[in-house]
Amino acid sequence: LMFGKVKPCNCAAAADRSPAQCNLVLLGVTGSGKSALTVKFLTKRFISEYDPHLEDIYSSEETVDQQPVTVRVMDTCDQEGPVNSERYLSWASAFLVVYSINNMESFKGCQLYLHTLALHNKTPIMLLGNKLDMDRYRQVSRCDGELLASRFGCVFFEVSACQDFLSVQRVFHEAVRRGRSL
C-alpha cells in the first residue's frame, strides 16, 4: 500500500512544523469497516481484506476549504471494546465512531466508545453508519443512528467504504473541519 505511515512518537515533533494539522481516530468494533474507510480515504481504493489486528497511524496532506492541512488517521483495533483509550483520547482532534448498518452488534458495540468519549468530555464526534451498500440487509435504521448521534451530540453520516470515494472524503473532511487546529 502506497501511503505514508508515521509512528505516534513522531507526531508531536511533526506537528510543530505543520501550519495546520488534524488527528483523526477511528473507533468501533472489529469488522465495522474502520480500516476499509481509512484505506479508501487515503488511496481512493476499497481493500476488502485488511489485517484485522493492525493498528497504525497514517498521514496525508489534504486541502480542506482551500486550506492545506496535515491529517493523521489512527486506525484502531481493539480486541474487546474500549481499552487503553489513553492512547488516542488526548491525541485526537476528532473522533469517528463506526458501526455497520447491517450488524446490530456493531451498533451496540459502538455505544461503548461513545460512552468512553462522553465520560472524558471528548468532542467533536462523527457517528458513521458504514456499509450503506448493504442496505437490503440493514439491521440498524437511519433513524436509530440519528437518535444515537443526537444523544451524544455527534454529527451523523451513513457511508460505504466500497462505493464512491467522494462521499467518504466528504466525511473525513467534515471531521477535519470540526477538529483542526492552527
> 160, 171, 172, 180: which one contacts ligand GDP (CB under 6 A)?
160
- Quick one: what does residue 131 bind among Mg ion, ligand GDP, none, with the CB cut-off 5 to 8 Å set by partner type? ligand GDP
Say whether residue 153 binds ligand GDP (CB under 6 A).
no
Q: What kind and span of H or E run contains 168? A: helix 165-179
C-alpha cell read off for 22: 488534524
CA distance 137 to 134: 6
CB of 178 to Mg ion, least distance (A): 23
Say whether residue 103 binds ligand GDP (CB under 6 A).
no
The count of residues interacting with Mg ion (CB under 5 A) is 3
- Residue closer to ligand GDP by CB (options 47, 118) is 47
- Residue closer to ligand GDP by CB (options 6, 134) is 134
Among residues 94, 87, 82, 126, the alpha carbon closest in space to that of 7 is found at 87
CB of 144 to Mg ion, least distance (A): 24
The interface mask with ligand GDP, positions 25-54, x = CB under 6 A, is ---x-xxxxxxx-----------x-x-x--
- Checking phi first, is residue 112 left (phi over 0); if not, alpha (psi -120 to 50) or beta? alpha
- Determine how many CB atoms are found less than 10 A away from the CB of residue 100: 26
Say whether residue 179 binds ligand GDP (CB under 6 A).
no
Say whether residue 160 binds Mg ion (CB under 5 A).
no
From residue 174, alpha-carbon distances to 21, 49, 126 in Å are: 14, 26, 9
> Would you report the helix, strand and coil content of the chain in percent, each value rounded to 5?
40, 25, 35
> 71, 126, 140, 162: which one contacts ligand GDP (CB under 6 A)?
162
Phi, psi torsion values for 166, nearest 5 degrees: -60, -35
* Footprint of ligand GDP (CB under 6 A): 28, 30-36, 48, 50, 52, 130-131, 133-134, 160-162
